[in-house]
Structure 1
Amino acid sequence: MVALDFTFSLFIMTRRFVSTLAVGAAAFLGACSKEAPVQRVVDPARVVSVTHVARVAFGNTTTASGLLVAREEAAVGVEQAGVRVLRVFVEEGARVKAGQPLAVLDDTLLHERLIQAQAQADNAKSEADRVEGLDGTGVMSDEDIGKRRSQARVAQAQLRELEAQVGQMIVRAPVSGMVIERTARPGSLSGGEPMFRVARDNLFELEAELPEASILRIAERQPVKVTLADGKELDGVVRLIGPRIDPQTKLGRVRVSLPADRVLRVGGFARATFMGRSVPVAVVPEKAVQFEASGPLVTVIGADSRARRIPVKTGERSGGLVELVEGPPVGTQVALAGGAFLLDGDQVKTEIAESSATLTGTPEK
């Protein structure tokens, strides 16, 4: 019981001490508020380096990669299937002339048929010659006379067909150029697939794939600098712009004509730089563009010195500058690297960055 009374007394004393301390603190704060009012602390405006959206002459160059292909490819084969190949005269990479023999097929069976057809044609011709001049004489009916003449014509046509087939037993190049593929082998049988493929006139092209936006900036006969896998450079020209954009990849195809050169190989890799005309475009330094999940953006500093983040669409890059395909107009003040730490509505102090002097021309208002 004594212990309980002591504990209760200690609790009462503690409550009174705390109450006294609270009253004293309140009085002290009240006195201080009368003598020295509390001043609100205001953060100073952030100093930000800025530049302007400027209009400069941008070398409108576009790069793309692709594979080397034959400008025009001639497929060489025979109509007769199942004929055995006796000899092959050329290898892949050989340069051939139009009409040059490429391979010889076995014509043994055809020769036997040709001999028979020749005999039948000679016999039919003799029969037709015998009725010559007998029309309307009554010696032979007109029907029999016409039948013999018809048989002679059919026999002659069959003979010519076999002669043509025998001539096809020598496989010849239909055009001059380079043999880029050979599937014919001695002992193999002819079929539906071509035996040879020839790049006509030894002409090769680069077939490059480009995004739709880049293709719109390319024109036929536009000069192209083509770099091969070994670093060698060739001067090419845009010959053909494909009319179709792949719905899956959103890429289109462009054919670039190349000068004849022995180092060119079908299927080889090359990179093309399309040399366009210099055109004035809106640009900002690359440091002014920030990239977020929603896409690229710039931080614009308005006349009230407040920041505002604006999404943009970028284009070509060159010399530390990036083209603004869509974005603030020329002359707009934008923050540089420090803009990434600003939020919409932030008050700032601006200073012109030295790097902005690299922009060609005077910013337009």
Structure 2
Amino acid sequence: MRSLFLAAGLLGLAACHSPEAPAPKADAQARAVNVVTVEPRVLAGTLSASGPLIPREEAAVAPEVTGYRVSRVLVEEGAYVRRGQTLAQLDPALIEAQIAQQAAQAQQAQVQAERAQAEAARVEGLDAQGVLSSEDVQGRQFAARAARATAAAQQAALRDLRTRAAKLSVTAPVAGLVLERTVRPGDLAAGGATPWFRIARDGQIELEAQLAEADLARVRPGQSVEVELTGGARVQGTIRLVEPAIDPQTQLGAVRVSLPPHPQVRAGGFARANFASGVTPVLAVPESAIRYDADGASVMVVGPDNRVRQVAVKTGARGDGYVELVSGPAAGSRVLQRAASLVLPGDVVKPVQAAPPAAKAAPQPAAKR
């Protein structure tokens, strides 16, 4: 009987010291989540914007001299002119008479200067001989210097008149297309007047399209643009400049589009541009991967150890269900496909590579009746 109790006690003691069951591993408890890779992608889409047609560079031409009548106007609006070509001619009769009068005065002053110089040369050294006083000798020398200065001033006045005479021909400062002409024969050249001519340098006209601030990131200089003109014609332009400043009133930015020569491309007109965005690949993730909270936009990045961390991002263009990452994780990083998943920073997950979202079908144009 005692042996039975002893056996039962040994069995109970052995049961108390049995080995514990192994704890489940963290990987086994990790939640499976779909992840996508941050990689370069072309965001397809079309932007439309309109704006005025303006000269790329405009030159305003006005007379440089005033007080003379216009005798001839040699070009009309729409004419192509070369640099230095005469556009208008002022009447030279008045200034020619002034030049003749000034030339005579300059010649007279030159003669008087030569006479005074000769008189000063004759008395040079006579003060030492006692023939003339030093005061008389110095007086003639000063008179000679004054006469030379007067002759130089008369010559300068003559050169000024001749320069003015050369400016009676109003010339083109650049080669290009004459956009406007406001002068007529018989008009009097006056200071501060409206420019007589406006010239588009090299005849280059471009479109100044207005885009929203968010859309400016979708276009690049050098990108091809289809431009629809008011008359219905279509031409292919090229983005020359994306202006860096945004209008604080309208929150719009200007995009300059260079246009080829065309009969319907006229300064002051109106046109619409269709920007085929998505020419340059950008780092992008699906729209569902972006998480928004009080701190801004972010994505949930899965590290090499399958641990999740939250990374702030700055978004840009959108298209085909993707969002451009202007700043954020590097290319090749894995992010949760759905930021709204019940996953917190620091969690360990089991990543499953997800298929890319299907591109949205482009709308078909309506059939013409």
Q: TM-score, normalised by structure 2?
A: 0.60
Counterpart contact for 1:226–1:270, Cα < 8 Å = yes
Residue 262 of structure 1: CA displacement?
Answer: 4.1
Counterpart pick for 1:114 among 55, 80, 99: 99
Cα offsets for 1:136-191 (capped at 9, x unmatched): 82666332122111111111111111111122222111221110010101222223
- Which amino acid counterpart does residue 137 of structure 1 have in structure 2? E
* Partner SS for 1:243: coil
Counterpart contact for 1:59–1:278, Cα < 8 Å = no
Counterpart contact for 1:54–1:282, Cα < 8 Å = no
> What is the match of residue 115 of structure 2?
130
> What is the match of residue 208 of structure 1?
209
> What is the match of residue 277 of structure 1?
280
- Which amino acid counterpart does residue 127 of structure 1 have in structure 2? Q
Residue 204 of structure 1: CA displacement?
Answer: 1.6
Gaps of 5+ in 2: 1-35, 126-136, 289-314, 326-335, 341-356, 362-369
> What is the match of residue 152 of structure 2?
153
- Which amino acid counterpart does residue 244 of structure 2 have in structure 1? P
Does residue 84 of structure 1 match 2:69? yes
* Partner SS for 2:245: strand
Relative distance call for 1:229 and 1:119 in structure 2 (3 A) is: same
> What is the match of residue 366 of structure 2?
none
Cα offsets for 1:262-282 (capped at 9, x unmatched): 432101112223343355453
Does residue 182 of structure 1 match 2:181? yes
Does residue 227 of structure 1 match 2:231? no
Q: Could you tell me how far apart the structure 1 residues matched to 2:231 and 2:337 are?
A: 43
> What is the match of residue 71 of structure 1?
56
Identity across the alignment (%)? 43
Relative distance call for 1:132 and 1:82 in structure 2 (3 A) is: closer
Residue 100 of structure 1: CA displacement?
Answer: 1.7
Q: Could you tell me how far apart the structure 2 residues matched to 1:215 and 1:82 are?
A: 51
Counterpart pick for 1:59 among 44, 54, 67: 44
* Partner SS for 2:187: coil
Relative distance call for 1:281 and 1:263 in structure 2 (3 A) is: farther
* Partner SS for 2:65: coil
Does residue 167 of structure 1 match 2:152? no
* Partner SS for 2:243: strand
Q: TM-score, normalised by structure 1?
A: 0.60
- Which amino acid counterpart does residue 268 of structure 1 have in structure 2? G
Number of matched pairs: 256
Residue 130 of structure 1: CA displacement?
Answer: 3.4
Residue 59 of structure 1: CA displacement?
Answer: 1.6
> What is the match of residue 290 of structure 1?
none
Q: Which segment drifts farther, 137-146 or 113-122?
A: 137-146
> Superposed, which structure 2 residues align to 1:229-268 within 5 Å?
229-268=230-269
Relative distance call for 1:223 and 1:162 in structure 2 (3 A) is: same
Relative distance call for 1:65 and 1:359 in structure 2 (3 A) is: closer
Counterpart contact for 2:215–2:317, Cα < 8 Å = no
Counterpart contact for 1:54–1:359, Cα < 8 Å = no
* Partner SS for 1:245: coil
